[in-house]
């Protein structure tokens, strides 16, 4: 990792920049594939899947028999680990369920909000050399808690046309309703438009390469929501003299091995710590099966020496990392200054991989600086919040004149009339009650 010492604040913005990907050609490819899928449906989807993933593919529907058999191919140890993670993820996300609170904003005017599930969601799970079955848990478990009626999963087949059995096992465990052996742009396009086989979904979730991310961005133009804009994975570690350099190096490498375009950043106010971490990175890198990938990621990465932890924290907030690890003396105190981050890990024992798998928090997080304006996936990502209001006759009296006055000022006279008629009806009813009482007397 390249080391930079005490950069001036004027250079910080440049240091926060991620490696850029040329978008014009990428988006042109996406639009061509989307156009074909919109017109030709399954035929186009299968053509592209055979071209990019498995040449001999004749169907992309994963049968229930294949899903059932997958369970026999997953070790008991892994099953137990997946079940533990699922339980923790469920526990954490269930804690986000909100009670309905009704508020009387004025006499006779009651307002409240209720949650409703998004009906059909699509989950994209990368395959290849790192089949991310953990992502199935992170997306399907909260979708199930939210009550989504249909959970569609797309994941690419390998070179022999198979899907990793751990993905299939986890999908069944987490309540996925349909699974398709589809990857890349064609998977996103199928879920965006719907085909004879693949349902059109209302919102698409999940990570992916630059082609998948570009396709998700395009999906929004066709009326399908996405979880968040995202790019390559990243981690930023702030470390002081109390850190364990081997732990810090392991955390940096765990993110670097995701892909060559991943980025890892080390910030410290201690020159010795930076040297020790770099030494540990070299030692641990040599033993990694994915060392070639991690080494490429480290070329895009840097260690930066600042004068104190306050400067480290200020730079971190400007960078807005996907994952932020505070390997410092008093992490809880330092965490009060966190403004922008996807997920924060406090202290030497809180490794980022715990959040990736089994602590319970969601690992689908904003990258590329989007943590400044986006949250990570949560239960809220799978629901809509609908407001309700109920006015009584007393409510008409309470706010009627204000509504009429404001509507008239905006020259929206039909709006005014909707309230005027009700005010008249309330006044007439009140007058009738007075007359009835007089008659009784």
**DSSP annotation of 61:** B
- Ramachandran area for residue 345 (φ above 0: left; ψ -120 to 50: alpha; else beta): beta
What is residue 41's three-state secondary structure? coil
C-beta neighbour count of 169 within 10 angstroms: 23
**What parts of the chain have a pLDDT lower than 70?**
20-22, 441
C-beta neighbour count of 208 within 10 angstroms: 22
Mention every residue, 6+ apart, whose C-beta is less than 8 A from residue 20: none
Name the residues annotated as catalytic.
Answer: 322-323
Rounded distance between C-alpha atoms, residue 413 and residue 89, angstroms: 52
**DSSP annotation of 55:** T
Rounded distance between C-alpha atoms, residue 139 and residue 364, angstroms: 8
pLDDT of residue 231: 82
* Residue whose C-alpha is closest to residue 321's, from 376, 241, 273: 376
Rounded distance between C-alpha atoms, residue 51 and residue 47, angstroms: 6
* Residue whose C-alpha is closest to residue 123's, from 213, 188, 192, 205: 205
* Residue whose C-alpha is closest to residue 216's, from 175, 255, 185, 171: 185
What is the C-alpha end-to-end distance of the chain, expressed in Å?
Answer: 94
Rounded distance between C-alpha atoms, residue 343 and residue 43, angstroms: 41
Strand order in the sheet with 302-305: 2-5, 302-305, 263-268, 234-239, 323-327, 343-346
- Let me know: does 282 contact 318? Beta carbons within 8 Å: no
Rounded distance between C-alpha atoms, residue 246 and residue 250, angstroms: 6
* Residue with token string 């979904």: 201
Tokens matching residue 360: 């319970």
Instruction: Write b or e for each residue in 256-291: b if 16 or more Cβ atoms lie within 10 A of its Cβ, otherwise e.
Output: bbbbbbbbbbbbbbbeebbebbbebbeebbeeeebb
Q: Domains in the chain, start-ordered, CATH in brackets?
A: 24-70+107-227 (3.40.50.1980), 231-375 (3.40.50.1980), 393-440 (1.20.5)
- Ramachandran area for residue 42 (φ above 0: left; ψ -120 to 50: alpha; else beta): alpha
Tokens matching residue 374: 């986006």
pLDDT of residue 21: 65
Tokens matching residue 227: 């979880």
Tokens matching residue 70: 């997958």
Give me the phi and psi of 395, to 5 degrees please: -65, -40
**In the chain, count of helices (H) and strands (E)?**
17, 14
* Residue whose C-alpha is closest to residue 246's, from 287, 297, 198, 190: 287
- Let me know: does 176 contact 123? Beta carbons within 8 Å: yes
Tokens matching residue 361: 């928090």
Distance of CA 18 to the CA centre of its chain: 19
* Residue whose C-alpha is closest to residue 280's, from 251, 256, 255, 306: 251
Sign of CA dihedral 126, 129, 134, 137: positive
Please give the full DSSP string across 206-261, using - where no structure is assigned. ----HHHHHHHHHHHHTT-EES----S-EEEEEE-TTS-HHHHHHHHHHHHTT-TT
Tokens matching residue 152: 């569609």
Q: What is the pairing mode between strands 120-124 and 203-205?
A: parallel
């Amino acid at each position: 990792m390249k080391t930079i010492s005490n950069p001036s604040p004027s250079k910080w913005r440049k240091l926060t920049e991620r490696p850029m990907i040329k978008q014009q050609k990428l988006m042109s490819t996406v639009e061509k594939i989307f156009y074909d899928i919109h017109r030709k449906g399954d035929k186009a989807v299968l053509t592209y899947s055979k071209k990019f993933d498995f040449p001999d593919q004749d169907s992309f529907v994963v049968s229930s028999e294949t899903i059932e058999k997958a369970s026999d191919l997953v070790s008991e140890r892994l099953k137990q680990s997946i079940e533990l993670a699922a339980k923790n993820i469920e526990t954490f996300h269930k804690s986000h369920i909100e009670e309905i609170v009704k508020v009387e904003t004025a006499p006779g005017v009651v307002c409240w909000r209720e949650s409703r599930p998004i009906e059909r969601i699509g989950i994209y799970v990368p395959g290849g050399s790192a089949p991310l079955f953990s992502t199935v848990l992170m997306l399907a478990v909260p979708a199930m808690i939210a009550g989504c009626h249909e959970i569609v999963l797309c994941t690419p087949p390998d070179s022999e046309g198979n899907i990793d059995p751990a993905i299939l096992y986890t999908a069944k465990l987490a309540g996925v309703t349909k699974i398709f052996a589809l990857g890349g742009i064609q998977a996103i396009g199928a879920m965006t438009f719907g085909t004879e086989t693949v349902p059109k979904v209302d919102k698409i979730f999940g990570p992916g390469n630059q082609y998948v991310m570009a396709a998700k961005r395009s999906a929004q133009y066709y009326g399908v929501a996405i979880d968040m804009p995202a790019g390559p994975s990243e981690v930023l570690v702030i470390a002081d003299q109390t850190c364990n350099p081997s732990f810090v190096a392991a955390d940096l490498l765990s993110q670097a091995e995701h892909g060559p375009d991943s980025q890892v950043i080390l910030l410290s106010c201690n020159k010795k710590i930076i040297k020790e971490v770099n030494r540990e990175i070299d030692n641990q890198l040599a033993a990694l099966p994915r060392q070639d990938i991690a080494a490429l990621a480290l070329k895009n990465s840097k260690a930066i020496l600042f004068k104190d932890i306050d400067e480290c924290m200020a730079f971190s907030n400007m960078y807005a990392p996907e994952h932020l690890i505070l390997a410092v003396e008093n992490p809880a105190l330092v965490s009060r200054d966190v403004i922008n981050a996807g997920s924060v890990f406090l202290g030497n024992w809180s490794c980022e991989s715990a959040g990736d798998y089994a602590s319970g928090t969601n690992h689908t997080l904003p990258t590329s600086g989007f943590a400044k304006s986006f949250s990570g996936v949560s239960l809220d990502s799978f629901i809509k919040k609908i407001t309700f209001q109920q006015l009584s006759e007393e409510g008409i009296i309470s706010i009627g004149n204000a509504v009429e006055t404001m509507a008239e000022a905006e020259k929206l006279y039909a709006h005014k009339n909707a309230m005027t008629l009700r005010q008249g009806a309330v006044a007439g009813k009140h007058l009738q009650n007075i007359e009835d009482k007089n008659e009784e007397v």
